[in-house]
Amino acid sequence: MAKRSDYISWDEYFMGVAILAAQRSKDPNTQVGACIVSNDNKILSIGYNGMPLNCSDDDFTGNAIQQMIINTFILYIANSMPYLIIGAVL
């Protein structure tokens, strides 16, 4: 039996992982996901943009999120990259 030839590339696979991770973001305007990958195609860490660790986002839902985006929400939303780096180190 021959090996399948219609499988996705590593780049497509890792982009799919990043897109899936982005769906965890609760920011309605920017949903960013990312993954750090080693040279031998191993995922080292996955992250997405959201509130900093140990900060609850339960109070920031619906209209409250929209209002906070206008005011200060963007100051509290962390980029996905620090989460990736922290996750890779731990």
pLDDT digits (tens, 9 = 90+) for 28-39: 777 888 888 999
- CA–CA dist 64, 76 (Å, integer): 14
pLDDT at 10: 97
Residue 25: C-alpha distances to residues 6, 17, 41, 52, 85 (Å): 31, 14, 25, 12, 17
Record the pTM: 0.67
- Per-residue pLDDT of 37-81, as tens digits, reads 999 999 998 888 877 667 776 666 556 655 655 555 555 555 656
Q: Which of 24, 26, 59 is nearest to 35 (CA)?
A: 24
